[in-house]
Amino acid sequence: MKQNEFLATVMPFKDKLYRMAKRLLVSKEEAEDATQEVLLKLWNKSDKMGSYKSVEAFAMTMTKNFCLDRLKSKQAGNLKLVHSNYEDGQHNLQRSVEQADSVSWVEKIMEELPEQQKMVLQLRDVEDYDFEEIEEMLGMKATAVRVTLSRARKAVREKLIQKHSYGIG
């Protein structure tokens, strides 16, 4: 496969890979690195690309695995993501800034979700994939996808309503 051919194949979904990576890794730089890594791996395998049912789904699975590995090794190296512990410290400042932009709450809320829920929510509500694609990408059963998705959406709603009433009260 030629380089421009490869780029043409990858172009339509590279942003989706990046957004998925960012959802999992949070940091922009890390997400960019992860995306690059995945694209390079894909490029090295591009000879076999024809044999994959869906290159996009395959690439998404690679991204998922790569990011989860990253997270795992980070946890092992005791480099926990920073954002999980600035909840308490600058409470007031944080809150007043966030109130101006309640949309970013949702981002924060999503950061707190378990990885599986994060991924399903990302793939469905941000990227609009249908259920079969999500099943393939995450290697999950149909019912599992729906249950996880429902849980994720409800979790977001719950926290959002909490913050809402808290903000008002």
Partner 1 sequence: MELDKKIEVLLEKYFEANTTLAEEKLLRDYFAQDTIAEHLEAYRSMFGYFNKAKVDVYTKQVPLKPRRNVNFRWLSVAASVIVVIGLYFGQLGYRNYQEQKQLEQEQARYAYQQTKKALNLLAENFGKGTQKMAYLKTFEVSKDKIYNEN
Positions touching partner 1 (CB under 8 A) are 3, 6-7, 14-15, 17-19, 22, 32, 35-36, 39-40, 43-44, 102-107, 122, 124-128, 130, 145-147, 149-150, 153-154, 156-157, 160-161, 164
Which residues contact residue 87 at a Cβ distance below 8 angstroms, ignoring those fewer than 6 apart?
A: none
Write down the least CB distance from residue 116 to partner 1, Å.
Answer: 14
CB-nearer residue toward partner 1: 93 or 103: 103
Q: Give the nearer residue to partner 1 in terms of CB position, either 56 or 127.
A: 127
Mention every residue, 6+ apart, whose C-beta is less than 8 A from residue 99: 167
Nearer to partner 1, 80 or 126 (CB): 126
- CB of residue 49 vs partner 1: minimum separation in angstroms? 13
**DSSP per position, 52-110:** SS-HHHHHHHHHHHHHHHHHHHHHHTT---GGGG-SSTTHHHHHHHHHHTHHHHHHHHH
Of 62 and 149, CB closest to partner 1 = 149
Q: Which amino acid is at 34?
A: A
Asked whether the beta carbons of 120 and 134 are under 8 A apart, the reply is yes
Q: How far apart are CA 82 and CA 13, in angstroms?
A: 29
CB closer to partner 1 out of 73 and 150: 150
The closest alpha carbon to 36, from 26, 128, 122, 28, belongs to: 28
Least CB distance to partner 1 at residue 100 (A):
12
Closest distance to partner 1 from the beta carbon of 93 (Å):
20
| Shortest distance in whole angstroms from residue 125 CB to partner 1 | 5
